[in-house]
Amino acid sequence: MTNQVLLDCRNVWKLYGARAETILQENDCPDPEALKAAGVIGAVRAADVQINRGEIFVIMGLSGSGKSTLVRCLSRLVEPTAGSIQFDGIDLLSASDAELIEIRRKKMGMVFQQFALLPHLTVLENVAFPLDVQGVDRKTREARAREVVTLVGLEGRENYYPRELSGGQQQRVGIARSLVVEPELWFLDEPFSALDPLIRREMQDEFLRLQNMLKKTIVFITHDFDEAIRLADRIAVMKDGAIEQIAAPEELVLNPATEYVAEFTRHVSRAKVIRAKTIMSPVTSESFAGEVDCRATVESIADQVEAASGPVRVLNNGEIVGQIDKQAVIDVLVGRK
């Protein structure tokens, strides 16, 4: 495992049923039919995932695809049936209960769909609670909690109780509580799915703002592809407990590895995932009517390019790497690319 990889999951299985422990001894890679014949449910099947430091890694799939079970295996909240999981060089599957508790308290943060705030505690007390459990003195934990409350935009509401907050504000408290221990790895299991669409969008904005500041390693579960492509550096698509493909959002849409991934991404607007660097052409113009970043999506630059009087230069860290004209953008918008 390289230093770039923080979490390394190899050939992880989670099976349920009377023969869950023995079927892998008879067949080290049973297919779904073999599992069904044995009366075993394959919640996670032969999962290989390497999550890099500082990236947002999204796991997505339909209900029952195994995404939440996989994340619980990665944090060992659920005991895998087989496989290997290394976290920052630590073998999680051989760690003792005491070691796991310390890892979860100090190195992992978790946010779930249900906010699970303690109703009798204020915002500040809820956020400080993980530090209280660790035995951190009151003055230190409250000072740290105030920093994180400010970070998530709840300054001035430290003494409010959960019942006095909106759904979005309650979720911010949940996020602050998970960040107060300064985790190396942050798990978020459909954290925004219970929110109204407008609040959900605001929380996505807030999430991206926090990530730009904190550069955490994040595993994010969602069933919403629009949310995934907005947030993810890479996406794993799951079906029936197995990972169909892991790739950047653009790669998933342009080069799906399986028919399932192709169908899953068929109705996604390509303008949301195709980036300027993909559709740019070599520099031929001597003058330009504007500039865009090579990582910008077509959707975000379409109006600018279409309104320009000529080609727009494409920059990568300030260096010209290509140009884009109106036709290139139109081809994406009308589905010719």
154-193 b/e (C-beta count within 10 Å ≥ 16 → b)? beebbebbbeebeebbbbbbbbbbbbbbebbbbbbbbbbe
| Length of the chain (residues) | 337
- In a domain? residue 115: no
Give the H or E element holding residue 121.
none
The three-class DSSP label of residue 184 is coil
**Integer Cα distance of 48 and 302 in angstroms:** 37
For residue 302, what are the contacts with CB-CB under 8 A and spacing of at least 6?
271, 329, 333
89 and 190 in a single domain? The answer is yes
* DSSP secondary structure letter of residue 240: T
For residue 127, which of 169, 167, 166, 164 has the smallest C-alpha distance? 169
Order of strands across the sheet with 108-112?
Answer: 108-112, 185-189, 217-222, 56-60, 234-239, 242-247
CA distance 209 to 195: 19
Q: Mind listing the pLDDT tens digit of every residue in the chain (337 residues)?
A: 446 999 999 999 999 999 988 999 888 899 999 999 999 999 999 999 999 999 999 999 988 999 999 999 999 999 999 999 999 989 999 999 999 988 988 899 888 777 688 999 999 999 999 999 888 999 999 999 999 999 888 999 999 999 999 888 998 899 899 889 889 999 999 888 877 888 888 889 888 988 998 899 999 999 888 899 999 999 999 999 999 999 999 999 999 999 999 998 988 889 999 999 999 999 998 899 999 999 999 999 999 999 999 999 999 999 999 999 999 999 998 876 6
Based on the number of CB atoms within 10 Å of its own CB, is 293 exposed (0-12), middle (13-18) or buried (19 or more)? middle
Domain presence at residue 50: yes
**Predicted local distance difference test score (pLDDT) of residue 3:** 67
Domain tally, the chain: 2
Beta bridge partners of 235: 58, 247
258 and 237 within one domain:
yes
Separation of alpha carbons 302 and 50, rounded Å: 34
Which helix (H) or strand (E) segment is 85 a member of? strand 82-87
What is the DSSP secondary-structure string of 186-231? EEEESTTTTS-HHHHHHHHHHHHHHHHHH--EEEEEES-HHHHHHH
pLDDT, tens digit (0-9, with 9 covering 90-100), for 139-156? 999 999 999 999 888 999
| 3 state DSSP class of 314 | strand
The CATH number for 318's domain is 3.90.1280.20
Instruction: Tell me if 219 sits within 8 A of 71, measured CB to CB.
Output: yes
Helix (H) and strand (E) counts in the chain? 14, 13
* Residue 266: predicted pLDDT: 87
Confirm if 228 and 264 have CB atoms less than 8 A apart. no
Residue with tokens 């109703």: 119
- Enter the tokens of residue 286: 């001597």
Residues 275, 259 share a domain: no
How many CB atoms are closer than 10 A to CB 105? Answer: 14
Quick one: pLDDT at residue 137?
Answer: 93
Range of the structural domain that residue 291 is part of? 271-333
Same domain, 61 and 200: yes
Which of 218, 234, 268 lies at the terminal end of a domain, its last residue? Answer: 268
247 and 305 co-located in one domain: no
In angstroms, the CA 164 to CA 199 distance is 17
pLDDT at residue 337, as a whole number: 65
Q: Are 7 and 186 in contact (CB under 8 A)?
A: no
| Predicted local confidence at residue 250, as pLDDT | 94
Residues 251 and 322 in one domain: no
In this prediction, residue 2 carries a pLDDT of 46
**Residue 192 shares a structural domain with residue 294:** no
- How many whole angstroms separate alpha carbon 145 and alpha carbon 176? 8
Q: Has residue 137 been placed in a domain?
A: no
Does residue 256 lie in a domain region? yes
Q: b/e string for 116-136 if b means 16 or more Cβ within 10 A?
A: ebeeebbbbbbbbbbbeeeeb
Task: Please say whether the beta carbons of 322 and 296 come within 8 A.
Answer: no
In a domain, 72, yes or no: yes
